[in-house]
Structure formats: structure tokens, C-alpha cells
């Protein structure tokens, strides 16, 4: 497994959410939190998805309202090819 360089704004849930979206494809926060492999409540998943979208690691409303998909940057981060510390938040 590649070494991931996470940013100080990231938390444990972020990697799990990105891994889920990479494997399972686009989903809503509820669908993600309902999966037994995800150990976080829907509210926390939703907050983290908003933060991941702010930094471009996921795309909000990718295929429908409230549905998130992993972005190319999100895949690069999971592959250890992108240093999340270098990402800037959208303003």
C-alpha cells in the first residue's frame, strides 16, 4: 500500500470514505454511513464529504443531488501520488 500524505485538516474517516467511493462508486452520505465497513454516523460522513469536496478530493452532486464521487485528485491521494498538504480549499 502506498504511503499517503494527509493534510492536518484530514481525519481518519476521510480515508475510509475515499476508499469506499473508489470501490463502490458514487453514493449519498446515508448510503455510505449505512455500510457496515464505515464506522461513522451519517452526520459525520456528511461533514467530512463537504470538507473533502472543499479540497477537491470528491465531487458533490456527481450523478444526482446529494451524491458524491471520488475525484481524480482523490484517486491520486489514495494511490500515494498526491500530497494532500498541498491542496487549497475552494473559496
13 half-sphere exposure, CB direction, 13 A CA radius: 19
- Cell numbers standing for residue 22: 473508489
Question: What is the per-residue pLDDT across 5-45, written as a single tens digit (0 to 9) for each?
Answer: 999 999 999 999 999 999 999 999 999 999 999 999 999 99
CB 22 within 8 A of CB 70: yes
Give dist(CA 55, CA 16) in Å, integer. 16
Please write the tens of the pLDDT for every residue from 43-68: 999 999 999 999 999 999 867 788 99
Please state the φ and ψ torsions of residue 22, each to the nearest 5 degrees: -65, -40
Amino acid at each position: 500500500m502506498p504511503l499517503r500524505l494527509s493534510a492536518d485538516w484530514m481525519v481518519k474517516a476521510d480515508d475510509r470514505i475515499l476508499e469506499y467511493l473508489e470501490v463502490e462508486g458514487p453514493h449519498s452520505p446515508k448510503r455510505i454511513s449505512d455500510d457496515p465497513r464505515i464506522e461513522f454516523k451519517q452526520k459525520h460522513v456528511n461533514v467530512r464529504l463537504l470538507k473533502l469536496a472543499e479540497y477537491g478530493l470528491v465531487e458533490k452532486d456527481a450523478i444526482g443531488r446529494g451524491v458524491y464521487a471520488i475525484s481524480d485528485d482523490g484517486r491520486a491521494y489514495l494511490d500515494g501520488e498526491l500530497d494532500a498538504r498541498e491542496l487549497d480549499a475552494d473559496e
